[in-house]
Amino acid sequence: MKAIVCNNFGPIRNIEYKDVDEPNLDENSILIKVSSVGVNFPDGLLVQGKYQLKPETPFIPGMEVAGEVIDIGNKDSDFSVGDRIAALSQLNGYAEKAVVKTFSTFKIPENMSYDDACALLCAYGTSHYALKQRGQLKKGETLVVLGASGSTGIAAIQIGKIMGAKVIAVASNSEKQKIAEENGADLSIGYDNLKEKLKEISNGKGIDVIFDPVGGDTFDTIARTMARKGRLLVIGFASGSIPKLAVNLALVKEFSVVGVFWGAFTRAEPNEYKINMIELFDWYQKGLLKPLIEENYPLSQAAKVLEKILARGAKGKIILKPWKIKFC
């Protein structure tokens, strides 16, 4: 079968599209024919050796897939050949076929596309966990979402509105700001003079919850805009720079800096994770949220897509397609 292989940590351009052996099943796994592969920011960090996880090389990257079950390790499983599923896999997603663990696999409704199912895993899963468990967002609070036109940003906007918050989106240009508003943001603004803008928007009260996947210098700015008892959610560092907090700000303003590591949550609290996914699927079924799929690319173009995402050029979710389809 064809797959994307990282032979050694290094530049993204070095990953290869090549023939590999089909994966082996064990009794706790199922084999799927992959229809959609979600592309995520950490995938690009992983192949460069810049992520927390550093697997032995060579390896196949890719953490979220959706497709059809074609074989089952345990015949007493709740899954059957032909089931439409979405699954998390720490690795091995960028391939025509993938073995996934049953505990991280979900059956998907007939009216849910494979592309949407992928997006609901990492992007919506992260944002949901961030706002629900870590941020404890309450109805009527003000939520600021940085990186608002990316897949996690759009997810945070939609989920924030479902939870009853006033949502302020922050994005780098007017096109991205428009996307944020089209996905439910009450207001969208740029990064220039951000402290002053947020002070004005909050009438001097400060912001209750800030969702920050960007980091860098912006983190220092937003730390100065927090409300008393506010929660600053650390999602990631898309800017490429890990900020340092002047902790006197947290003391004086009495706000909390809260880390969000969704992957650890899925492993440490699998039951809560499943409850979250059921809630996301229910919201999807009710039409309360809808992933923005920017574009599909052939699996062979994975390097091009990863470079685009790491350059913060994506608007919404990008999906890789392992099998030949028509691309317009």
Report pLDDT digits (tens) over 1-49: 999 999 999 999 999 999 999 999 988 899 999 999 999 988 999 999 9
Residue 75 confidence (pLDDT) above 90: no
Helix axes 174-182, 151-162, angle to 10 degrees: 40
Please indicate, yes or no, if residue 274 is contained in any of the structural domains: no
In this model, does residue 327 exceed pLDDT 70? no
CATH number at residue 221: 3.40.50.720
Q: Which domain holds residue 59?
A: 2-108+293-321
Alpha-carbon span 95 to 226, nearest angstrom: 43
* For the chain, percent of residues with pLDDT exceeding 70: 99
Quote the pLDDT of residue 323. 87
Helix axes 114-129, 270-285, angle to 10 degrees: 120
- CATH number where 78 lies: 3.90.180.10
pLDDT in tens, 103-145: 899 999 989 999 999 989 999 999 999 999 999 999 999 999 9
3-class secondary structure for the chain?
A: CEEEEECCCCCHHHCEEEECCCCCCCCCEEEEEEEEEECCHHHHHHHCCCCCCCCCCCECCCCEEEEEEEEECCCCCCCCCCCEEEEECCCCCCECEEEEEHHHEEECCCCCCHHHHHHHHHHHHHHHHHHHHHCCCCCCCEEEECCCCEHHHHHHHHHHHHCCCEEEEECCCHHHHHHHHHCCCCEEECCCCHHHHHHHHCCCCCEEEEEECCCCHHHHHHHCCEEEEEEEEECCCCCCCCCCCCHHHHHHHCCEEEECCHHHHHHHCHHHHHHHHHHHHHHHHCCCCCCCEEEEEEHHHHHHHHHHHHCCCCCEEEEEECCCCCCC
Can you give the pLDDT at residue 325?
Answer: 57
**Residue 2: closest CA among 16, 38, 11:** 16
Residues 246, 220 share a domain:
yes
**Strand 226-234 vs strand 84-88: parallel, antiparallel, or unpaired?**
unpaired
Confidence band (pLDDT; 50, 70, 90) for 77? confident
Judge whether 177 lies within some domain.
yes
Of 241, 263, 285, the residue at which a domain comes to its end is 263
What pLDDT, on the 0 to 100 scale, is given for residue 311? 87
The answer to whether position 236 is within a domain reads yes
Q: Are residues 129 and 101 in the same domain?
A: no
Classify residue 285: in a domain, yes or no.
Answer: no
pLDDT tens readout for residues 195-221: 999 999 999 999 999 999 999 999 999
Question: Is 67 inside a domain boundary?
Answer: yes
Residues 94 and 25 in one domain: yes
Indicate if 126 and 92 belong to the same structural domain: no
Domain end residue (candidates: 247, 263, 279): 263
Please calculate the CA angle 63-48-2 and round it to the nearest 5 degrees.
50
Answer yes or no: is 273 within a domain: no
234 and 173 in one domain? yes
The number of folded domains in the chain is 2
- pTM to 2 decimals? 0.91
C-alpha–C-alpha distance, residues 322 and 37, integer Å: 8
Distance CA 280, CA 287 (A): 11
Task: Looking at the structure, tell me whether residues 307 and 204 fall in a common domain.
Answer: no
Question: 21-35, 143-157, 289-303, 304-318: lowest mean pLDDT where?
Answer: 304-318
User: How far is the C-alpha of 313 from the C-alpha of 30, rounded, in Å?
Assistant: 34
Residues 234 and 308 in one domain: no
Same domain, yes or no: 139 and 248? yes
Distance CA 125, CA 142 (A): 21
* Residue 277 covered by a domain: no
Asked if residue 217 and residue 90 are part of one domain, the reply reads no
pLDDT tens per residue across span 136-179? 999 999 999 999 999 999 999 999 999 999 999 999 999 999 99
User: pLDDT tens-digit profile of 224-257?
Assistant: 999 999 999 999 988 888 999 889 999 999 999 9
Residue 189: inside a domain, yes or no? yes
Contact 68, 41 (CB under 8 A): no
Co-location of 239 and 304 in the same domain: no
Query: What is the CA 300 to chain-centroid distance, rounded?
Result: 22
How many CA within 13 A on the CB side of residue 28?
3
